A and B are shown apart, each in its own frame.
Chain A
Amino acid sequence: MEAFLAVMARELRLAARRRAEWALPLVFYAVVATLFALGASPNAPWLKVAGPSILWVGALLAALLSLERLFRGDYDDGTLEQFFVSPQPVSLLVAGKLLAQWLVIGLPLTLLAPVLGIAFGMGAELTGVLVLSLGLGLPALVLLAGFASALVVGLPRTGVLLPVLVLPLVCPVVIFGAGAVRAAEGGAPAGAPLYFLGAILVLCVCGVPLAAAAALKNALD
């Protein structure tokens, strides 16, 4: 547990030093949402309908782009090798790192979403569901993206490969996440999709750190 917290604290300290790391995804998210709105004819009714989908995919891309180099620095400076010589299970350390990543990148995006939601004409109840769904969905996304970036760690250029690996894996998250908002929009209870999101998150929390640790080990061997 101590090691878990130590890894987390280290990540948070590093992020505090580099403000761009958590600030830029927010700007990216806002710009993407703006571009969608500008691409539509002004105040087009479908924009309101497509709102949940746009806000979800925007958050997804913003989180994904910043996770590409997740393990890069640790790989270059040898921290990853330290993970493997430490007595703690690597999956635990990876989980700490990913939790910190969610705090640095996922949480701000979740908090920005309601502001953008208002711009897309969402009411108070809808933005509440949006925040809840992102709160449950983005951690799962960060975990899956962490797994994928562990697979490609050490490769000279990964470019578009990481999104291609991650996006098929997060389809259920998007379906349930945006679906919860749309269900609330139609007056249906949003509980069921949110429970599904929770179930997916639990599955990811249990399985992904192990898979990511295996991927890192493979990349380092």
Chain B
Amino acid sequence: MTWIPNWMHRLASPPAFYAFAGRLQPWLWGASAALLGYGLVGGLALAPADYQQGEGFRIIYVHVPAAWMSLFIYTVMAGAAVIALVWRIKLAECVLTSCAPVGASFTALALVSGMLWGKPMWGTFWTWSDPRLVSELILLFLYVGISGLQQAITDPRAAARACALLAVVGFVNVPIVHYSVEWWNTLHQGPTITKFDKPSIHVSMLWPLLSAALGFTTFFAGVLLQRVQNELLWRERGNPWVKEAIA
């Protein structure tokens, strides 16, 4: 493993990471608050109403970032899972188990906001023919399953490695689910739902959206660091650095 830079090795040691995470967090919270603030004001007030969807399109500033987070967090989790399985790095184990509940919450948000958007726009809360909706639902089940598995196994290392295996298998599963629903959809020509063409989004609508998405991402980074810190404190309890950290 000589190709892994030295600073990375040092950072992966629990006390170093704990301190690093503590220093980074205020910046993340600040950036997140600023980005979310701009996204909120820009999305709710500054952006003009959509010519097709009226004011209803403002749900986009919740829905799209949440859906983005649901996939982003899963990718982070699967990446950490591979690192945990291959190199047995403790820090990666903590990252992956900390991802699951946060990812589940954002996936649930994407589903709820998607349903609230779907009702006025498509006339229905839910449709089984949209592969994105169904994939999100399966993603939620996967997140919940990983959380459940982690809580069922008492030894934290064994729990994390079991979760890592499940996360990797689930990662392969998600695109398969997506394409199978798409195929399924071509099979049964059910009630066709009028979907809006992708409108060329106006700049005054786009910037708040990007800002909100980045705000969600930095928020997730902050929460993740906080959770990883907790996990490290618990796992390393009894070590001298923990006593110093909580003194």
Contacts and interface: CB of A to CB of B under 8 A. Distances in A.
A151 B184 contact: no
A12 interface: no
A152 B177 CA distance: 24
Interface string A160-189: 010011011101100110010011001010
B173 A214 contact: no
A165 B145 contact: yes
Contact of B166 (A151, A167, A171): A151
B152 interface: yes
B188 A182 contact: yes
A168 B173 contact: yes
Interface in A79-115: none
B46 interface: no
A132 to B, nearest CB: 17
Given A196-B183, A218-B161, A164 B170 contact: no
A167 B170 CA distance: 11
Given A158-B152, A175-B181, A168 B162 contact: no
B121 interface: no
Nearest to A155: B152
A167 B138 CA distance: 9
B103 to A, nearest CB: 14
B152 A152 contact: yes
Interface residues of B, number: 28
Interface in A197-221: 200, 203, 207-208, 211, 214-215, 218-219, 221
A196 B176 CA distance: 10
A171 B165 contact: no
Q: Is chain B's binding surface mostly helix, strand, loop or mixed?
A: helix
Interface in B121-173: 138, 141-142, 144-145, 148-149, 152-153, 158, 161-162, 165-166, 168-170, 172-173
Contacts of A183: 187
Given A168-B138, A168-B173, A215-B165, A179 B183 contact: yes
Nearest to B163: A151
B180 interface: yes
Counting contact residues on chain A (CB < 8 A from B), the size range is 20 to 34
Contacts of B145: 161, 164-165, 168
B116 interface: no
B85 interface: yes
Contact of A175 (B85, B149, B180): B180
A168 B187 CA distance: 21
B184 A179 contact: yes
Contact of B169 (A147, A167, A182): A147
B90 to A, nearest CB: 15
Interface in A54-78: none
B187 A179 contact: yes
A164 B148 contact: yes
Contacts of B158: 218-219, 221
A87 B237 CA distance: 39
Contact of B149 (A152, A207, A208, A221): A152
13 contacts: A148-B166, A151-B166, A152-B152, A158-B152, A161-B152, A165-B148, A165-B149, A171-B173, A171-B180, A172-B177, A175-B180, A186-B187, A211-B168
Interface of A: 147-148, 151-152, 155, 158, 161, 164-165, 167-169, 171-172, 175-176, 179, 182-183, 186, 188, 192-193, 196, 200, 203, 207-208, 211, 214-215, 218-219, 221
Given A147-B169, A171-B177, 5 more contacts: A164-B148, A165-B145, A168-B138, A186-B187, A215-B165
